[in-house]
Amino acid sequence: MTNKSIYRAYDIRGNTTTDLSVEIAYKIGYVFTKLTINATNKVIVVGMDGRLSSPALCNGLISGLKNGGAEVVFIGLCSTPMLYFADYKFKPAASVMITGSHNPKEDNGFKILQNNRPFFGEMIQELKRVIEGQKWSDIKIDNYLETIKISDVSNDYVAAIINDSKFNRKLKVAIDTSNGAASEITKKLSQELPLDFIIFNDKIDGNFPAHNPDPMVAENLTQLQKMVLEEQCDLGVCFDGDGDRIGVVTNSARIIYGDQLLCIYAKQVLKHIQGATIIADVKASDIFCSYVTKLGGKPLIWKTGHSYIKAKMQEIKAPLAGEMSGHVFFADRYFGFDDGLYAAMRLLEILANSDSSLDEMIGALPQMYNTPEIRIKVAEDKKFSLIKQIKQDMLRQGITFNDIDGLRVEEKNGWWLLRSSNTEAAISIRIEATTKTGLEKLQNRLQKLLANYNVYMI
């Protein structure tokens, strides 16, 4: 019996020792093909990251796709942005990336596109229903990876980034590729640019020996911070396991949050596209809205999740969007998908064309006191019901909130957010206030609220 929790809001993801098997990969491939291909386009592009479980899942997926009638274009071991790029290049009916993203090494999953748009939400639930409603027998997994031809897109992908980049001065940057899928392509790109790169943890290794491939966790950036200070770099960059997210530290090794980074990008974009709408996720600081408005733009707060953000961007034709988690989406000069490597190049371009350091740019933003994203482990089968129960209790108490994604409560001098994570067994929290004392008060208030549900922040 398949663990239903693998079918998440914006991708399919689970533990490969308990939830996600090769047979399930086959079923996903077979049913997805039946739901996707048509008489004029039977092509499905497939790529995989460097996780230890990816080759086996890839064989299962491709077996299902081919038996379902698809013509598979395999681009090999790659980053997720390379898969997105291949989707634009080959114009298939659909594309599937086998990746566990930033999750622990035991996890893996599938990020999916259909007709160049995210396959998510109700589409994933329909896939699940068809899989569960079908009788399965004689599932045969072929070892396609031994014989299948690889359609390499790396040269075209690198060229697309290089042709879009302009640097007026040489910078020194440290890049931690987290032993992830972006390691080789980062080294390839670095050889073509007039910048000084220090790239480390750059051997693809699904054991992730240096640290878990999540640049939003501060402890995963300590090696990068040390490298930036020792080598006197202009900045440091860290990618996640599949290369679609970026973590950044300044020249003084200060960690930059995703909403701060988005403000820097927004300033550049709004110079060329005046009055544009810039999208941030529900975890963004109030600084984002006030800063974008001051620049003449229109800020829009939307649901967290790369699929939700991309769909909204396409709907309203926004040139830029970003999330606290480090997903950044450029559609002004790029394709509109989240790409950590491209986001790094855009940041380097901004710095190279400015006399200011990254520290100075961040220092110029209005100051607020806030937490990073705090994640508290809550069982997969309880996290959504917990938020639902808190919501019901708040309604009874007459507390006003924004529930576009979780519960965001505006206070007199700040706000706080509670939401269920869509990628792991956890709830997500962020708190912001105008003063340090105000932040402490909101933290204490939220701790007391959660304690009523036997959930503790510390």
Query: What separation in angstroms does the CA of 270 have from each of 103, 108, 328?
Result: 34, 37, 16
Q: Which of 254, 249, 251 is nearest to 234 (CA)?
A: 251
- Element holding 247 (H helix, E strand): strand 246-249
Two tokens at 216?
């939003």
Pairwise CA distance, residues 317 & 207, whole Å: 39
| Torsion (CA) 80, 60, 72, 95 in degrees, nearest 10 | -30
Three-state secondary-structure class, residue 178 = coil
Torsion over CA: 266, 269, 273, 279 (sign): negative
Instruction: Give the DSSP letter string of 382-439.
Output: THHHHHHHHHHHHHHTT---B-SSSEEEEETTEEEEEEE-SSSSEEEEEEEESSHHHH
**Which residue is catalytic, options 53, 79, 95, 101?**
101
Q: Tell me, yes or no, if 101 is annotated catalytic.
A: yes
Three-state secondary-structure class, residue 176 = strand
Pairwise CA distance, residues 104 & 392, whole Å: 33
Q: Which of 225, 213, 214 is nearest to 179 (CA)?
A: 213
Pairwise CA distance, residues 146 & 136, whole Å: 26
Pairwise CA distance, residues 151 & 259, whole Å: 36
Enumerate the active-site residues.
101
